Amino acid sequence: MAIAVPIPDGVRSDASAVSFARLRDKYDRAITDLRVSITDRCNYKCVYCRTGESGAQYAELSVADYLRMIRAFVGLGIEKVRLTGGEPLLRRDILKLVRELRGMRTLDGRLLDIALTTNGHLLEDLAGPLRDAGLDRVTVSMDAVDAATFARITRVPGSFDAVLAGVRAAKRVGLEPVKVNCVLLRGFNDGQIVDFAKFSRDEGVIVRFIEFMPLEEGRVWSPETVVPLKEIVARLEEFMPLRPLPGHAASETARRYTFADGVGEVGIIAPVSQPFCGHCSRVRLTSDGKIRTCLFSQSDHDLYGVLARGGSDEAAREFIVRTVEQKEARHHIGEPEFLKPSRSMVHIGG
């Protein structure tokens, strides 16, 4: 489904084009959020994500290639771009990419909302330069708030202190709201729930708990490893009563809460126990230029290939529209017909 709109100057990349479509899929969901992986390399080997035996498996493209593809998406109504990996801060040209994105405008003439998800290990030194380049905010993946458990998860000694310094640097330079994402695994780090609540209150960050999804390289997921939303809420309530907060948008993935005294914020992202597919506004671009319409897609769609074969910007936009129209209605986690995706999370982009 498409709505014709004029092309604003800030996203015009094909002088012959006069109109194009705002992205909507066949279920009439508006697609406004683009997640772009710029590498599948990572300097951590988190147990819920990596086997620890294989590194990067897919190509990285140039900044110019990513920008051309992102412009095509922005010209179709994308308003938010999140840079992911792997670990995006491993790219030495990350600041150039952010600066170029800062110059883009949405169809309504507004600045793009530019965010980045990182493990935080390199963030302390890069927070200021990223802010100066035009990054709006940052999300840090951080799955424990004590050094021993954290190192056991990341399998990198001394990693906790580096990430904590990165979180504090992001706050200091104004990459806010700083969000800290914690993937919970039963019997591994679910004893950290209250400690993370205290961390939110003490550090002034938003903590978001994420139900463990079957996206890991090792393929060891089982329903028993998932700590569901209701259990997380119950454990937080034992610490201090919660007060629900309104969502920012219908497509928001997290259920938001603060505590009875109004200090701190936690969110719970519950794709397993309480899916939110009906309001999904996201599409993903992998580090090698493939579109994935869902984290759990069984196939990907080669946008970079269209351009590499000499395709025009208009051809890229047409390819994107056709691909997004095929977006899945929902995932099927926990159902008999469920198939794990063809790529693991680190190779898709978080």
Tell me how far apart the alpha carbons of residues 296 and 114 are, in angstroms, rounded to a whole number.
24
Q: How confident is the model at residue 161 (pLDDT cuts 50, 70, 90)?
A: very high
pLDDT at 4 over 90: no
pLDDT at 24 over 90: yes
Q: How confident is the model at residue 18 (pLDDT cuts 50, 70, 90)?
A: very low
pLDDT at 247 over 90: no
Q: Are the beta carbons of 68 and 13 closer than 8 angstroms?
A: yes
Average model confidence (pLDDT) across the chain: 87
Q: Are the beta carbons of 319 and 309 closer than 8 angstroms?
A: no
pLDDT at 50 over 70: no
Look at 241-245, 296-300, 309-313 and tell me which has the smallest mean pLDDT. 296-300
Question: Is the C-alpha dihedral spanning 262, 263, 269, 273 positive or negative?
Answer: negative
On the 0-12 / 13-18 / 19+ scale of CB atoms within 10 A, 6 is: exposed
- Beta carbons within 8 Å of 278's beta carbon, 6+ residues apart: 27, 29, 330
pLDDT of residue 185: 87
Q: What confidence tens digit (pLDDT) does each residue in 58-75 have? A: 889 999 999 999 999 999
Mean pLDDT value across residues 126-144: 97
Look at 31-35, 75-79, 182-186 and tell me which has the smallest mean pLDDT. 182-186
pLDDT of residue 279: 84
155 or 100, higher pLDDT: 100
- Beta carbons within 8 Å of 336's beta carbon, 6+ residues apart: none
* Proportion of the chain above pLDDT 90, given as a percent: 65
pLDDT of residue 214: 64
Do you find a cis peptide bond into 223, omega within 30 degrees of 0?
Answer: no
Residue 207 three-state SS: strand
Range among 86-100, 178-192, 221-235 rated most confident: 86-100
Q: Facing residues of 184 across strands?
A: 211
Copy the structure tokens of residue 81: 């771009």
pLDDT of residue 335: 59
pLDDT of residue 130: 98
Q: How confident is the model at residue 2 (pLDDT cuts 50, 70, 90)?
A: very low
> Residue ranges of the alpha helices (H) in 253-337?
303-308, 313-324
Q: Are the beta carbons of 167 and 203 closer than 8 angstroms?
A: yes
Q: Are the beta carbons of 164 and 205 closer than 8 angstroms?
A: no
The angle formed by the CA atoms of residues 5, 11 and 15, to the nearest 5 degrees, is: 85
pLDDT at 331 over 70: no
pLDDT at 278 over 80: no
pLDDT of residue 47: 76
Q: Are the beta carbons of 81 and 101 closer than 8 angstroms?
A: yes
Q: What confidence tens digit (pLDDT) does each residue in 185-231 have? A: 888 899 999 999 999 999 999 999 998 876 555 556 677 788 999 99
pLDDT of residue 3: 44
9 or 203, higher pLDDT: 203
State CA 209 to chain mean position distance.
14
Tell me how far apart the alpha carbons of residues 89 and 67 are, in angstroms, rounded to a whole number.
17
What are the angstrom distances between the C-alpha of 166 and each of 40, 161, 220, 275, 347? 21, 9, 30, 31, 24
Which residue type occupies 268?
Answer: I
Residue 321 three-state SS: helix
Tell me how far apart the alpha carbons of residues 104 and 174 are, in angstroms, rounded to a whole number.
21
pLDDT of residue 5: 43
Look at 40-49, 68-77, 91-100 and tell me which has the smallest mean pLDDT. 40-49
Copy the structure tokens of residue 55: 């590194």
Instruction: Provide the 8-state DSSP code for 250.
Output: T
Look at 246-255, 271-280, 296-305 and tell me which has the smallest mean pLDDT. 271-280
pLDDT at 239 over 50: yes
Its pTM stands at 0.89
Copy the structure tokens of residue 118: 């990182």
Mean pLDDT value across residues 310-319: 97
Copy the structure tokens of residue 302: 């080669």
